[in-house]
Amino acid sequence: MRENVTIVEHPLVKHKISMLRDKNTGTNEFRKLVEEVTMLMGYEALRDLPLEDVEVETPIETCMTPMLAGRKLALVPILRAGLGMVGGMLALTPTAKVGHIGMYRDEDTHTPQDYYCKLPHPIDDRVIVVMDPMLATGGSAEDAITQIKKQGGTHIKFMSIIAAPEGLDRVSEAHPDVQIYVGQLDRCLNADAYICPGLGDAGDRIFGTV
């Protein structure tokens, strides 16, 4: 279990997640922190991108030097809160295409309700990075990844800033072929399926809604 999971152990990630948790962190700062944490996690999540040597002429001489090769990227935020992570990843990979999957959790059943899915086409030749800051029950992430696989996605990664053990195990088991990157593993879910200690409702904090 959790063989496909990486908890990103970096002091900058831990520090910024603690700032995200603080209920006194306002919308503007919260958005910036989500982007920064995403960028730091993206550095780890994209560690295995293939390189190829290309010829470059420096002011001194011509050399063979590594550049990104092969498979192209697709970033897929889960709406709404995943949108907050797009800027951080695009700062690293500005030519990536961006798809969107829309879903919200039913307040009573805590199950995901799908309302939108638009992915780059074709999707099968891309490395796909699915993003959502919160992995709680895992229902949304599991469903989003299943939708992407149905449309032909094969090389999928999932990034989440905070995860609950229940949700992490669920997605890890449902999709053992998907590499999962998490900034912090929290204690548990509460009766409303919110992550404890968590940071509250990520979508509301990013978009200033209540």
Residues with active-site annotation: 105, 109, 201, 204
User: 50, 35 in Cβ contact below 8 A?
Assistant: no
User: 156, 130 in Cβ contact below 8 A?
Assistant: yes
Candidates 41-49, 88-96, 143-151, 195-203; binding stretch for ligand URA (CB under 6 A):
195-203
Choosing from 16, 80, 157, 175, the residue that interacts with ligand PRP (CB under 6 A) is: 80
Nearest distance from residue 39's CB to ligand URA, in Å?
A: 20
User: Torsions phi, psi of 34, nearest 5?
Assistant: -60, -45
Choosing from 99, 167, 183, 198, the residue that interacts with ligand PRP (CB under 6 A) is: 167
- Nearest residue (CB) to ligand URA, 82 versus 99: 82
The H-or-E segment that residue 11 falls in is helix 11-21
How buried is residue 6: exposed, middle or buried, by Cβ count under 10 Å (0-12/13-18/19+)?
middle
- CB under 5 to 8 A by kind: which of ligand PRP, ligand URA, none does 195 bind? ligand URA
59: tokens are: 């002011």
159 touching ligand PRP, by CB under 6 A: no
- CB under 5 to 8 A by kind: which of ligand PRP, ligand URA, none does 112 bind? ligand PRP
3-state helix, strand, coil in the chain (%, to 5): 30, 30, 35
**CA-to-CA distance for 146 and 106, rounded, in angstroms?**
19
**Binding to ligand PRP in span 85-104, by CB under 6 A:** 104
202 touching ligand URA, by CB under 6 A: yes
27: tokens are: 């919308």
> Which residues contribute to the site for ligand URA (CB under 6 A)?
81, 134, 136, 194-195, 198, 201-203
